[in-house]
């Protein structure tokens, strides 16, 4: 019977085998996964590259058999979940930033490449408060209409109506 030392010296331990399988899967599927994230899910090139790396790190946690059965399905499920978490977190950070900018006297620092954010801020600030609350909760907190209705003590129909009005306001403002 081989001891742990013997297995490590021979390079035949489980960790080496898992690493070899992951490397094989990476060479075979990393390009496909990156392209899928960019073109199917709209991830930027850098974001897709980071997600591919993180997906393989997470794939290493699964049992050996899971790697070989359907590696693309497993990788895509992991990457999709990571992307959703990443976007949810980014939306939350952005929402907090917009909320701070909406406080009287607060100024949102605007970087030169973020002119669109400034335009969005101006459009949101110009929106009637009734619509603005619903719009911010829907678009930046990723709340459903039912969640917004419960949060604001409104009916779902009222939330839908206010969201329609908020979107009409945005549409009108973007035309000018």
Instruction: For residue range 62-94, list pLDDT tens digits in order.
Output: 755 555 678 888 888 888 888 888 777 766 666
What b/e readout covers 77-97, taking b as 16+ CB neighbours within 10 angstroms?
Answer: ebbbebbeeeeeeeeeeebee
- pLDDT band at residue 6 under the 50/70/90 scheme: very low
Is pTM beyond 0.85? Reply is: no
- Which of 57, 93, 63 has the alpha carbon at shortest distance from 78? 57
Q: What is the pLDDT of residue 2?
A: 44
Looking at residues 107-112, what average pLDDT do you find? 51
- pLDDT band at residue 7 under the 50/70/90 scheme: very low
Looking at residues 145-160, what average pLDDT do you find? 93
What is the DSSP annotation of 37-104? HHHTT---HHHHHHHHHHHHHHHTTS-HHHHHH-HHHHHHHHHHHHHHHHHHHHHHHHHHHHHHHTST
């Amino acid at each position: 019977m081989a001891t742990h030392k013997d297995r490590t010296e021979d390079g035949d331990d489980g960790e080496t085998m898992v690493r070899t399988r992951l490397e094989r899967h990476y060479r075979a599927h990393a390009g496909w996964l990156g392209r899928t994230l960019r073109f199917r899910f709209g991830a930027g090139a850098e974001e897709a590259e980071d997600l591919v790396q993180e997906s393989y790190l997470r794939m290493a946690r699964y049992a050996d058999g899971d790697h070989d059965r359907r590696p693309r399905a497993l990788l895509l499920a992991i990457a999709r979940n990571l992307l959703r978490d990443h976007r949810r977190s980014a939306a939350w950070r952005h929402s907090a930033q917009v909320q701070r900018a909406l406080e009287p006297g607060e100024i949102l620092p605007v970087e030169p490449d973020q002119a669109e954010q400034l335009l969005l801020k101006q459009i949101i600030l110009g929106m009637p408060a009734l619509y603005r609350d619903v719009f911010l909760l829907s678009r930046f907190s990723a709340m459903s209409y039912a969640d917004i209705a419960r949060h604001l003590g409104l009916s779902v129909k009222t939330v839908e109506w206010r969201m329609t009005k908020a979107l009409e306001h945005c549409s009108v403002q973007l035309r000018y």
